[in-house]
Structures are given as structure tokens and as C-alpha cells.
Structure 1
Amino acid sequence: MIVGAGAVGVEMAGEIREKYSETKITIVSSQETLVADFTPKFQKNIKSILEDQNIQVVVGRVDLSSVVLNKVKTQNVQLSSGENISADLVISCIGLPSNVDSIKMLVPSADNIDNNRIKVNQYLQVDGLTNVFALGDCCNTVERKMAVYAGKQAECVVANIVAEAAGKQMTVWSFGFNGMLVPIGSKTGVGYINGFHPLGFMVRQLKSEDLFTKRYWGDLGVKMPA
């Protein structure tokens, strides 16, 4: 059982299916929409692939405090609907909440916090602190919290620090990308890129083969292991 039907949960299910063709896999989703609410076609494509790979999706919530996670242990897991599902292994893929305590230590007051994230202005400066910037998951920009946005925000912050030091106009944060690629195993997947729905073989070529690991090893300036 995989609890959570975001990109991580769906990708995890695909990885397990590829390795274990006969294993029964159930994804528990808190809502009918899987991964992201881009378009009905995006949803149809995801659900079609999961069905083809015999990966079951059930809608409900799980009280994770009552479940043993990440250990092989046969247990009955009760959903909020009242349904009970027997599982030999339960993996949580629901993500983590913002580290509010850490944020409160970094910013001067609660006025700088918005929905447990740090408020930033259009230049990614912390609200009220022109010499401090925030980017990535910790800041309250409106886009989905993904590595692709964090990387572009880092470029914006670097440019703005250099511009401010030189007394020049800073750059307003913007990134003309709306989408996501979701591999389901190494051979297929679904995606949405600025209104376009790439086919499974395109997702494979773009991401599924290495999950962008080669790119990020390169970004870190180190050689990817063989």
C-alpha cells in the first residue's frame, strides 16, 4: 500500500510494479484527482496507465499514527471510509509539512509567515528584509514546489544579489512553465507542459530513463557514478 497519490506516490507505484510484476499494489488517494489537477486528459492518462499496470487506486485517508510504515508486516489498514485493506508493506508518500519552528527562528515575526511559508516579494526578498532572500519550498510563491522552480529561483536570487550590490534594477521572479513529467516505471509516464500532453514515449525520453539524475549530478559539479 502506498499512501499518497501525488507525483511521488504514483512514481513509487510504477517503480515497484516494474520490479515486481505480480505484487498487488494499492495507492490510497485523499481525493479523486491524482498528482495534480492540470486537465481532465491528464487525469485520464494517469488512470489509464495505472489500470493497465494493475495498480489499484482507492479514495480515502489513513491515520498514519496507527500504521507501521516501511516494514514488512501484515496489517489491516482502515480508511476514513471505513474500508479495511490488508497490506504487507505500507509506504507513506504524502510529503512533509513545512518546518514552522525553523521558519520562526529565521524570520523576525509572524507577519513574515504565510500559510507556514516565508513571505517574499516579487524579487524573492523576505518581506521587510531587503538583505535576505528565500527560495524553493520555504517561500510562499504560488507555483508548485518542485526542483525545477527552485533551480530557476536560485538563478533569480543570484542575479538580484549581484544587481543590488551594483546598484542596478533587480529582476522580478517569473518562470513561464506550468507542468510536470510523471514517470510510471522506466518505459512510460504522463505529463503536462504548458497545455501540451506529451505521450508516454516522450516522457520516457525526457525523464523516465534516468529521472534527471545525470543532470543534477552535473549541476553539483561531480561525476555521475557508473
Structure 2
Amino acid sequence: DRVSNVENLTTNRFQKDMVVRTEKGTEVVTDMVVLCTGIKINSSAYTTAFGDKMASDGALKVNKHLQLEGHENIYVIGDCADLKEPKMAYHAGLHANVAVTNIINSLTHKPLKTYEPGSLTFLLSMGRNDGVGQVNGYYVGRLLVTIAKSRDLFVSKSWKTMGQTMP
């Protein structure tokens, strides 16, 4: 059953007593609507140059080293890489590590590293003191998610990764 009035709803913000209507006539009263409809890859930056290297969803076809198909000197990471895994920041970080290693290795004439999508890994914070997750196929409970992510949503980790001091 699809939502029929999404264009009339305030999304991603608190608003008391919004009414969500479905195509079948169901009405749900809620205080927040979060759109979670998937992603559409913005391929406009490379469609002209690499349209023949694109998958049907607009992602670029890559080899096992994350190189653009047919182009050894172009690496593709993140959402625009045609990899059979969820589009998540965590995975984009793994792609970046492999791409950086491969750029350095190609310049120093060393073997390239292979990227292999792994098991689904995610930590889902549900407020400051709750959450759930999965790491390499294993369930991760509330305590670990709360300690690892729920306190600041990895903001401090991101600042540290970027070599910056949190304000």
C-alpha cells in the first residue's frame, strides 16, 4: 500500500498530528514522516563521458580493484560504484581505503588490492540509549550500539578520521 499524499506532508521534521493517507484509504496520524524510498544515483556528472560504462541504475561498472571498466586510472567508490551491496557510508569508507591503497600501489608498481563486498554491517541508533545492529552477519544488541554509536552518532569518530578537532 503506497502513501498517496506524500507531497503534502512535512518530512524529516516534527509536526504534530499529520495524517498520512494510503492509496487504499488507510489513514495514519503521526508526528513525523521520514522518507525512506531508496536512492537514485546522480549520474549527471559522468553520463556524457561514461554512459557506456553505466549499469541500469546509473552506477558505474567497476572491476574487482574498483577501477572503472576499461579505465585503469579511474577509481569509483561510494554510491556511484556498481557493487552488489547496500549503499551505505560505511561501505564507501571501505571503498575509499581500497582505492587509496590501489592508487599508491599503482604508482609504486605493487599489486592492486581486491575489494570484496562482505556481510551486511550496520548499527542503527534508536535514540541515546537504544539501538540494534549486525556486524559480519552477527546480531549486535542495544549495549554495543549504545556504546559505539548512539551517544554521538559517530560524529567524534568522523572528526578524528578527518584529522580535525571537534568544536
Q: TM-score, normalised by structure 1?
A: 0.64
Distance 1:141 1:204, change over 3 A: same
Cα distance in 1 for residues equivalent to 2:64 and 2:92: 15
Counting helix residues as a fraction of each chain, which structure ranks higher?
1
Q: Does 1:66 align with 2:7?
A: yes
1:38-117 equivalences in 2 (<5 Å): 60-63=1-4, 66-70=7-11, 72=15, 75-87=18-30, 89-105=32-48, 107-109=49-51, 111-114=52-55, 115-117=57-59
Count of paired positions: 164
Corresponding residue of 2:97: 155
Corresponding residue of 2:108: 166
Corresponding residue of 1:222: 164
Q: List gaps (5 residues or longer) in structure 1.
A: 1-59
* Contact persistence 1:152–1:175 (CA under 8 A): no
Q: List gaps (5 residues or longer) in structure 2.
A: none
Corresponding residue of 2:73: 131
Distance 1:210 1:75, change over 3 A: closer
Q: Which has the higher contact order (CA 8 A, sep 6+)?
A: 1
Deviations 1:150-176 (A, max 9, x none): 112111111111111222221111254
Q: Does 1:182 align with 2:124?
A: yes
C-alpha RMSD of matched pairs (Å): 2.3
Q: TM-score, normalised by structure 2?
A: 0.84
